[in-house]
Amino acid sequence: MIAHNEQVRTVEVAHAGRRSVSRRTVIDEAKAKVLTIDLADRLCGPGQLRRRGAEWVGSCPLPDHEDRVPSFTVNPEKNLFWCHGCLRGGDVVRLARTAWGYPERDDAMAAADLLREFGHGIPPRPASWHRRQSRQEHIRERIDAEKIEHVRMIVFRIVFAPWLKRLPGFIKEEATASAWAESLPIAREIYARRRDS
């Protein structure tokens, strides 16, 4: 399980810069292409699930549940799982997210990891999404510029203003203009680091 958590972190880093995957599409694609029973078999280990009527039963593979009596069931017809011990269930994406330690809001990342794990490609976003991004680019640039300007004012007030107060009056205006110009690259660097972290 430790090795897989390291793999999850690697996937998170890989997805951090990837913005061309549709959240809804990737979840639907994972549900359509990967069966819950296949993932459950991989998580529980080959041969650990036993057929009982229409369902398969085994010990719960979820990391925070120590199952002494097999209480984990998978219904292949409905493509769903349910654990009677920890009272959790759902589809293949929820099983992947829960088993691999993704936060609740990261269904799309779990679905993308699931598709990759089973050898499927991740679907790209539709062309309409790219057209909308292109139309909204100037708005995002303006928002970024306003945020940089806000950071610039904070940098100027904290770093340069105390120093400028101590200067004699005849040089203060020129030093203020110079300090204001120097605050812009600092603000851009701070904003870029905060945005990327």
User: What's the predicted TM-score (pTM) here?
Assistant: 0.58
Q: How far apart are CA 107 and CA 103, in angstroms?
A: 8
Paired tokens of 53: 């009527």
The band of 20, judged by pLDDT with boundaries at 50, 70 and 90, is very low
Mean pLDDT, to the nearest integer, of 112-141?
A: 89
Q: How far apart are CA 37 and CA 42, in angstroms?
A: 9
Mean pLDDT, to the nearest integer, of 123-140?
A: 88
* Structure letter (DSSP) for residue 53: T
Write down the residue that tokens 């100027």 correspond to.
156
Paired tokens of 143: 């928002």
Helix intervals (H) in the chain: 2-16, 23-33, 36-44, 92-99, 107-117, 127-155, 161-165, 169-196
Q: How far apart are CA 85 and CA 59, in angstroms?
A: 10
Q: How far apart are CA 189 and CA 187, in angstroms?
A: 5
The DSSP bridge partners found for residue 52 are 55
**CATH 3.90.580.10 corresponds to the domain 2-117:** yes
Give the model confidence (pLDDT) of 46-64 as tens digits: 889 999 999 999 999 998 8
Torsion sign across C-alpha atoms 173, 178, 183, 188: positive
The band of 22, judged by pLDDT with boundaries at 50, 70 and 90, is low
Domain residue ranges in the chain: 2-117, 135-196
